[in-house]
Amino acid sequence: MDNGEIPENANEHCPGPQSESAGKSDDCQGCPNQEVCATAPKGPDPDLVAIAERMATVKHKILILSGKGGVGKSTFSAQLSFALAAKDFQVGLMDIDICGPSIPKMLGLEGQDIHQSNLGWSPVYVESNLGVMSIGFMLPNPDEAVIWRGPRKNGLIKQFLKDVYWGELDFLVVDAPPGTSDEHISIVQFLQATGIDGAIIVTTPQQVSLIDVRKEVNFCKKVGVPVLGVVENMSGLCQPLRDFRFLKMAENGEHTDLTEKVIEYMREKAPEMLDLIAASEVFDSSGGGAAKMCTEMGVPFLGKVPLDPQLCKAAEEGKSCFAEQKCSTSAPALKNIVEKLMTNYWREEMPVEQ
Protein backbone atom coordinates (compact mmCIF):
# COMPACT_ATOMS: atom_id res chain seq x y z
CA MET A 1 0.00 0.00 0.00
CA ASP A 2 2.84 2.33 -0.80
CA ASN A 3 1.87 5.90 -1.67
CA GLY A 4 -1.72 5.25 -0.66
CA GLU A 5 -2.35 2.77 -3.48
CA ILE A 6 -5.46 0.61 -3.11
CA PRO A 7 -4.32 -3.03 -2.85
CA GLU A 8 -5.53 -5.44 -5.51
CA ASN A 9 -7.11 -7.77 -2.94
CA ALA A 10 -9.21 -4.98 -1.41
CA ASN A 11 -13.02 -5.09 -1.35
CA GLU A 12 -14.85 -3.75 -4.36
CA HIS A 13 -15.90 -0.42 -2.85
CA CYS A 14 -12.71 0.24 -0.91
CA PRO A 15 -12.64 3.87 0.34
CA GLY A 16 -8.83 3.90 0.01
CA PRO A 17 -6.17 3.47 2.67
CA GLN A 18 -5.78 7.24 3.07
CA SER A 19 -9.48 7.79 3.75
CA GLU A 20 -10.58 8.69 7.27
CA SER A 21 -13.02 5.77 7.05
CA ALA A 22 -10.32 3.29 5.98
CA GLY A 23 -10.73 0.06 7.92
CA LYS A 24 -13.86 1.39 9.62
CA SER A 25 -16.38 1.63 6.81
CA ASP A 26 -19.02 -1.04 6.19
CA ASP A 27 -17.30 -1.59 2.83
CA CYS A 28 -14.16 -2.69 4.74
CA GLN A 29 -15.81 -5.60 6.50
CA GLY A 30 -14.05 -8.87 5.67
CA CYS A 31 -11.18 -7.21 3.78
CA PRO A 32 -7.79 -8.80 4.54
CA ASN A 33 -6.29 -5.30 4.83
CA GLN A 34 -8.87 -3.95 7.28
CA GLU A 35 -6.67 -3.86 10.37
CA VAL A 36 -3.69 -2.40 8.53
CA CYS A 37 -5.81 0.35 7.03
CA ALA A 38 -7.52 1.17 10.33
CA THR A 39 -4.18 1.69 12.12
CA ALA A 40 -2.10 3.19 9.30
CA PRO A 41 -1.30 6.93 9.46
CA LYS A 42 -3.57 9.03 7.24
CA GLY A 43 -2.58 11.88 5.01
CA PRO A 44 -3.07 13.40 1.58
CA ASP A 45 -2.60 11.05 -1.36
CA PRO A 46 0.78 11.97 -2.89
CA ASP A 47 -0.45 10.79 -6.30
CA LEU A 48 -2.92 13.66 -6.37
CA VAL A 49 0.04 16.03 -6.52
CA ALA A 50 1.46 14.13 -9.50
CA ILE A 51 -1.96 14.21 -11.20
CA ALA A 52 -2.26 17.96 -10.61
CA GLU A 53 1.15 18.47 -12.20
CA ARG A 54 0.16 16.43 -15.27
CA MET A 55 -3.20 18.17 -15.61
CA ALA A 56 -1.67 21.63 -15.27
CA THR A 57 -1.03 21.58 -19.03
CA VAL A 58 -4.66 20.68 -19.88
CA LYS A 59 -6.99 23.66 -20.32
CA HIS A 60 -10.39 21.94 -20.39
CA LYS A 61 -11.53 18.57 -19.04
CA ILE A 62 -14.84 17.10 -20.18
CA LEU A 63 -16.53 13.94 -18.88
CA ILE A 64 -18.84 12.04 -21.26
CA LEU A 65 -21.40 10.10 -19.24
CA SER A 66 -24.50 7.99 -19.80
CA GLY A 67 -27.03 6.34 -17.54
CA LYS A 68 -27.23 3.23 -19.69
CA GLY A 69 -24.94 1.38 -22.03
CA GLY A 70 -25.66 1.22 -25.75
CA VAL A 71 -26.86 4.81 -26.15
CA GLY A 72 -23.92 5.92 -28.30
CA LYS A 73 -21.80 7.57 -25.61
CA SER A 74 -18.46 6.36 -27.01
CA THR A 75 -19.54 7.27 -30.55
CA PHE A 76 -20.27 10.78 -29.31
CA SER A 77 -16.94 10.95 -27.44
CA ALA A 78 -15.07 9.91 -30.58
CA GLN A 79 -16.88 12.33 -32.89
CA LEU A 80 -16.57 15.22 -30.40
CA SER A 81 -12.81 14.57 -30.31
CA PHE A 82 -12.63 14.46 -34.11
CA ALA A 83 -14.60 17.73 -34.31
CA LEU A 84 -12.38 19.56 -31.80
CA ALA A 85 -9.23 18.29 -33.50
CA ALA A 86 -10.59 19.50 -36.86
CA LYS A 87 -10.74 22.99 -35.32
CA ASP A 88 -6.98 22.71 -34.76
CA PHE A 89 -7.23 22.23 -31.02
CA GLN A 90 -4.85 19.89 -29.23
CA VAL A 91 -7.13 17.08 -28.06
CA GLY A 92 -6.71 14.03 -25.82
CA LEU A 93 -9.30 11.27 -25.54
CA MET A 94 -9.05 9.07 -22.44
CA ASP A 95 -11.10 5.87 -22.34
CA ILE A 96 -11.83 4.82 -18.73
CA ASP A 97 -14.46 2.25 -19.69
CA ILE A 98 -12.18 -0.47 -18.35
CA CYS A 99 -14.45 -3.45 -19.06
CA GLY A 100 -15.72 -2.29 -22.46
CA PRO A 101 -13.09 -0.14 -24.20
CA SER A 102 -14.62 0.84 -27.56
CA ILE A 103 -12.51 3.91 -28.28
CA PRO A 104 -9.56 2.17 -30.05
CA LYS A 105 -12.04 0.70 -32.57
CA MET A 106 -13.89 3.99 -33.06
CA LEU A 107 -10.67 5.90 -33.67
CA GLY A 108 -9.21 3.31 -36.06
CA LEU A 109 -6.44 2.38 -33.63
CA GLU A 110 -7.00 -1.34 -33.05
CA GLY A 111 -3.78 -3.30 -32.61
CA GLN A 112 -1.76 -0.27 -31.47
CA ASP A 113 0.52 -0.40 -28.43
CA ILE A 114 1.38 2.07 -25.70
CA HIS A 115 4.99 3.26 -25.69
CA GLN A 116 6.93 4.64 -22.76
CA SER A 117 9.45 7.45 -22.75
CA ASN A 118 11.34 9.27 -20.02
CA LEU A 119 8.32 11.61 -19.81
CA GLY A 120 5.82 8.80 -19.18
CA TRP A 121 3.36 6.77 -21.22
CA SER A 122 2.80 8.16 -24.70
CA PRO A 123 -0.76 8.35 -26.04
CA VAL A 124 -1.51 6.65 -29.35
CA TYR A 125 -2.07 9.35 -31.97
CA VAL A 126 -4.74 9.43 -34.67
CA GLU A 127 -3.29 12.70 -35.91
CA SER A 128 -0.63 14.98 -34.52
CA ASN A 129 -3.25 16.88 -32.48
CA LEU A 130 -5.45 13.95 -31.40
CA GLY A 131 -4.04 11.46 -28.89
CA VAL A 132 -5.82 8.50 -27.30
CA MET A 133 -5.29 6.40 -24.17
CA SER A 134 -7.25 3.23 -23.42
CA ILE A 135 -6.85 -0.10 -21.68
CA GLY A 136 -7.72 -1.52 -25.09
CA PHE A 137 -4.09 -0.86 -26.11
CA MET A 138 -2.86 -2.97 -23.19
CA LEU A 139 -4.80 -6.18 -23.83
CA PRO A 140 -2.83 -8.99 -25.49
CA ASN A 141 -6.06 -10.22 -27.08
CA PRO A 142 -8.94 -7.85 -27.98
CA ASP A 143 -11.43 -10.60 -27.03
CA GLU A 144 -10.00 -10.92 -23.53
CA ALA A 145 -12.41 -10.02 -20.73
CA VAL A 146 -11.23 -7.52 -18.10
CA ILE A 147 -12.44 -9.03 -14.82
CA TRP A 148 -11.27 -6.49 -12.25
CA ARG A 149 -12.63 -5.33 -8.93
CA GLY A 150 -13.13 -1.65 -8.25
CA PRO A 151 -9.75 -0.96 -6.60
CA ARG A 152 -7.77 -2.24 -9.58
CA LYS A 153 -9.90 -0.20 -12.00
CA ASN A 154 -9.35 2.88 -9.88
CA GLY A 155 -5.61 2.21 -9.85
CA LEU A 156 -5.48 2.17 -13.65
CA ILE A 157 -7.47 5.40 -13.92
CA LYS A 158 -5.03 7.03 -11.52
CA GLN A 159 -2.14 5.71 -13.59
CA PHE A 160 -3.64 7.13 -16.79
CA LEU A 161 -3.89 10.53 -15.11
CA LYS A 162 -0.46 10.67 -13.48
CA ASP A 163 1.71 8.67 -15.90
CA VAL A 164 0.44 9.62 -19.38
CA TYR A 165 2.34 12.49 -20.98
CA TRP A 166 -0.23 14.47 -22.97
CA GLY A 167 1.81 17.61 -23.34
CA GLU A 168 -0.13 20.84 -23.87
CA LEU A 169 -3.83 20.07 -24.42
CA ASP A 170 -6.75 22.35 -25.14
CA PHE A 171 -9.27 19.60 -24.38
CA LEU A 172 -9.16 16.27 -22.56
CA VAL A 173 -12.30 14.25 -23.33
CA VAL A 174 -12.91 11.43 -20.83
CA ASP A 175 -15.14 8.58 -22.03
CA ALA A 176 -16.57 7.00 -18.87
CA PRO A 177 -18.47 3.71 -18.51
CA PRO A 178 -22.27 3.79 -18.12
CA GLY A 179 -23.81 4.40 -14.72
CA THR A 180 -22.42 5.94 -11.51
CA SER A 181 -19.89 3.43 -10.24
CA ASP A 182 -16.38 3.41 -8.80
CA GLU A 183 -14.79 4.72 -12.00
CA HIS A 184 -16.95 7.85 -11.91
CA ILE A 185 -16.22 8.56 -8.26
CA SER A 186 -12.50 8.05 -8.89
CA ILE A 187 -12.20 10.30 -11.94
CA VAL A 188 -14.05 13.10 -10.14
CA GLN A 189 -11.96 12.66 -6.99
CA PHE A 190 -8.68 12.60 -8.91
CA LEU A 191 -9.50 15.60 -11.13
CA GLN A 192 -11.46 17.78 -8.72
CA ALA A 193 -8.44 19.73 -7.48
CA THR A 194 -7.41 20.50 -11.07
CA GLY A 195 -10.88 21.59 -12.17
CA ILE A 196 -13.41 19.78 -14.36
CA ASP A 197 -15.28 21.90 -16.90
CA GLY A 198 -18.26 19.59 -16.62
CA ALA A 199 -20.07 16.56 -17.98
CA ILE A 200 -21.98 15.91 -21.18
CA ILE A 201 -24.62 13.22 -20.70
CA VAL A 202 -25.75 11.09 -23.65
CA THR A 203 -29.15 9.41 -23.76
CA THR A 204 -31.74 8.01 -26.12
CA PRO A 205 -35.29 9.43 -26.22
CA GLN A 206 -37.28 6.73 -24.41
CA GLN A 207 -38.18 6.77 -20.74
CA VAL A 208 -36.27 3.58 -19.92
CA SER A 209 -33.06 5.49 -20.73
CA LEU A 210 -34.11 8.84 -19.27
CA ILE A 211 -34.86 7.25 -15.89
CA ASP A 212 -31.16 6.45 -15.51
CA VAL A 213 -30.06 9.78 -16.96
CA ARG A 214 -31.88 11.52 -14.13
CA LYS A 215 -29.70 9.55 -11.73
CA GLU A 216 -26.63 10.64 -13.69
CA VAL A 217 -27.67 14.29 -13.41
CA ASN A 218 -28.17 13.89 -9.66
CA PHE A 219 -24.76 12.21 -9.37
CA CYS A 220 -23.15 15.23 -11.02
CA LYS A 221 -24.96 17.60 -8.68
CA LYS A 222 -23.90 15.62 -5.61
CA VAL A 223 -20.20 15.52 -6.55
CA GLY A 224 -20.12 19.11 -7.78
CA VAL A 225 -19.57 18.48 -11.50
CA PRO A 226 -21.47 20.96 -13.73
CA VAL A 227 -23.72 19.41 -16.37
CA LEU A 228 -22.72 21.08 -19.63
CA GLY A 229 -25.73 19.56 -21.32
CA VAL A 230 -27.61 16.49 -22.44
CA VAL A 231 -27.48 15.03 -25.95
CA GLU A 232 -30.42 12.99 -27.24
CA ASN A 233 -28.81 10.40 -29.49
CA MET A 234 -30.59 8.03 -31.92
CA SER A 235 -33.40 10.57 -32.10
CA GLY A 236 -35.30 8.91 -34.94
CA LEU A 237 -33.92 7.08 -37.96
CA CYS A 238 -32.99 9.58 -40.69
CA GLN A 239 -31.42 8.79 -44.05
CA PRO A 240 -31.90 9.68 -47.73
CA LEU A 241 -34.82 7.83 -49.29
CA ARG A 242 -32.52 6.42 -51.99
CA ASP A 243 -30.53 4.57 -49.31
CA PHE A 244 -33.50 2.49 -48.16
CA ARG A 245 -34.29 -1.03 -49.30
CA PHE A 246 -37.86 -1.72 -50.39
CA LEU A 247 -39.26 -5.16 -49.65
CA LYS A 248 -42.50 -6.97 -50.40
CA MET A 249 -43.42 -9.24 -47.51
CA ALA A 250 -45.25 -12.53 -48.00
CA GLU A 251 -47.59 -14.03 -45.43
CA ASN A 252 -44.99 -16.64 -44.51
CA GLY A 253 -42.48 -13.94 -43.60
CA GLU A 254 -40.34 -14.24 -46.70
CA HIS A 255 -39.65 -11.10 -48.67
CA THR A 256 -38.85 -10.04 -52.19
CA ASP A 257 -36.39 -7.19 -52.73
CA LEU A 258 -37.99 -4.55 -54.97
CA THR A 259 -35.41 -1.84 -54.33
CA GLU A 260 -34.12 -1.55 -57.91
CA LYS A 261 -37.64 -1.39 -59.34
CA VAL A 262 -38.80 1.25 -56.83
CA ILE A 263 -35.72 3.43 -57.31
CA GLU A 264 -36.04 3.20 -61.08
CA TYR A 265 -39.73 4.08 -60.88
CA MET A 266 -39.00 7.14 -58.74
CA ARG A 267 -36.17 8.16 -61.01
CA GLU A 268 -38.57 8.12 -63.99
CA LYS A 269 -41.77 9.40 -62.40
CA ALA A 270 -40.68 11.56 -59.45
CA PRO A 271 -36.89 12.15 -59.43
CA GLU A 272 -37.24 14.87 -56.78
CA MET A 273 -38.19 12.15 -54.27
CA LEU A 274 -34.67 10.71 -54.40
CA ASP A 275 -33.37 13.84 -52.66
CA LEU A 276 -35.81 13.55 -49.75
CA ILE A 277 -34.76 12.48 -46.23
CA ALA A 278 -36.95 9.76 -44.76
CA ALA A 279 -37.44 9.81 -40.99
CA SER A 280 -39.01 7.35 -38.57
CA GLU A 281 -39.31 7.20 -34.79
CA VAL A 282 -37.31 4.22 -33.48
CA PHE A 283 -37.73 4.86 -29.75
CA ASP A 284 -40.88 6.12 -28.09
CA SER A 285 -40.45 9.84 -27.40
CA SER A 286 -44.08 10.55 -26.49
CA GLY A 287 -42.92 11.44 -22.96
CA GLY A 288 -41.12 14.51 -24.28
CA GLY A 289 -37.66 12.96 -24.59
CA ALA A 290 -34.46 14.50 -23.27
CA ALA A 291 -35.62 18.08 -23.91
CA LYS A 292 -38.49 17.77 -21.43
CA MET A 293 -36.30 16.03 -18.87
CA CYS A 294 -33.71 18.83 -19.10
CA THR A 295 -36.40 21.44 -18.45
CA GLU A 296 -37.64 19.52 -15.42
CA MET A 297 -34.15 19.03 -13.99
CA GLY A 298 -32.78 22.46 -14.82
CA VAL A 299 -29.91 21.36 -17.06
CA PRO A 300 -29.10 22.47 -20.64
CA PHE A 301 -30.36 20.51 -23.62
CA LEU A 302 -27.69 20.45 -26.34
CA GLY A 303 -29.68 18.90 -29.17
CA LYS A 304 -30.71 15.75 -31.01
CA VAL A 305 -28.59 13.44 -33.16
CA PRO A 306 -30.53 11.13 -35.48
CA LEU A 307 -29.84 7.45 -35.89
CA ASP A 308 -27.80 7.58 -39.09
CA PRO A 309 -26.51 4.33 -40.63
CA GLN A 310 -23.61 6.28 -42.13
CA LEU A 311 -22.54 7.48 -38.68
CA CYS A 312 -22.66 3.88 -37.47
CA LYS A 313 -20.45 2.92 -40.41
CA ALA A 314 -17.99 5.75 -39.66
CA ALA A 315 -17.70 4.52 -36.06
CA GLU A 316 -17.12 0.94 -37.23
CA GLU A 317 -14.37 2.13 -39.59
CA GLY A 318 -12.78 4.46 -37.03
CA LYS A 319 -13.38 7.58 -39.10
CA SER A 320 -14.67 11.08 -38.52
CA CYS A 321 -18.22 11.66 -39.70
CA PHE A 322 -17.15 15.19 -40.67
CA ALA A 323 -14.38 14.15 -43.09
CA GLU A 324 -16.68 13.13 -45.95
CA GLN A 325 -20.17 14.15 -46.95
CA LYS A 326 -21.69 10.73 -46.31
CA CYS A 327 -23.16 11.43 -42.85
CA SER A 328 -25.68 13.85 -44.29
CA THR A 329 -28.13 13.74 -41.39
CA SER A 330 -25.92 13.18 -38.33
CA ALA A 331 -22.89 15.35 -39.10
CA PRO A 332 -24.83 18.66 -39.19
CA ALA A 333 -26.56 17.75 -35.90
CA LEU A 334 -23.26 16.92 -34.21
CA LYS A 335 -21.66 20.07 -35.61
CA ASN A 336 -24.47 22.20 -34.15
CA ILE A 337 -23.94 20.61 -30.73
CA VAL A 338 -20.18 21.27 -30.85
CA GLU A 339 -20.79 24.89 -31.88
CA LYS A 340 -23.29 25.31 -29.04
CA LEU A 341 -20.73 23.97 -26.56
CA MET A 342 -18.04 26.30 -27.89
CA THR A 343 -20.35 29.32 -27.73
CA ASN A 344 -21.73 28.53 -24.27
CA TYR A 345 -18.56 27.42 -22.48
CA TRP A 346 -15.38 27.96 -24.46
CA ARG A 347 -15.97 31.18 -26.34
CA GLU A 348 -12.47 32.33 -25.40
CA GLU A 349 -11.05 29.45 -27.45
CA MET A 350 -12.89 30.51 -30.61
CA PRO A 351 -10.91 32.48 -33.19
CA VAL A 352 -11.63 36.21 -33.26
CA GLU A 353 -13.54 37.12 -36.38
CA GLN A 354 -11.79 39.69 -38.51
Specify binding-site residues.
Answer: 14, 28, 31, 37, 67-74
Q: How many CB atoms lie within 10 A of CB 186?
A: 23
Q: Which amino acid is at 314?
A: A
Q: Are strands 169-175 and 130-134 parallel, antiparallel or unpaired?
A: unpaired
* Chain centroid to CA 261: 42
Binding-site members for ATP are 67-74
CA-to-CA distance for 347 and 95, rounded, in angstroms?
Answer: 26
First vs last Cα of the chain: how many Å apart?
Answer: 57
Question: Alpha-carbon distance 304 to 289, whole Å?
Answer: 10
Annotated binding site for [4Fe-4S] cluster: 14, 28, 31, 37
The C-alpha atoms of residue 259 and residue 71 are separated, in whole angstroms, by 30
What are the angstrom distances between the C-alpha of 283 and each of 5, 63, 209, 307, 322? 44, 25, 10, 10, 25
Using CA of residue 5, residue 11, residue 14, residue 17, what is the dihedral sign? Answer: negative
Distance in angstroms (rounded) separating the CA atoms of residues 204 and 304 = 9
Q: Compute the distance between CA of residue 348 and CA of residue 354 in angstroms, rounded to an integer.
A: 15
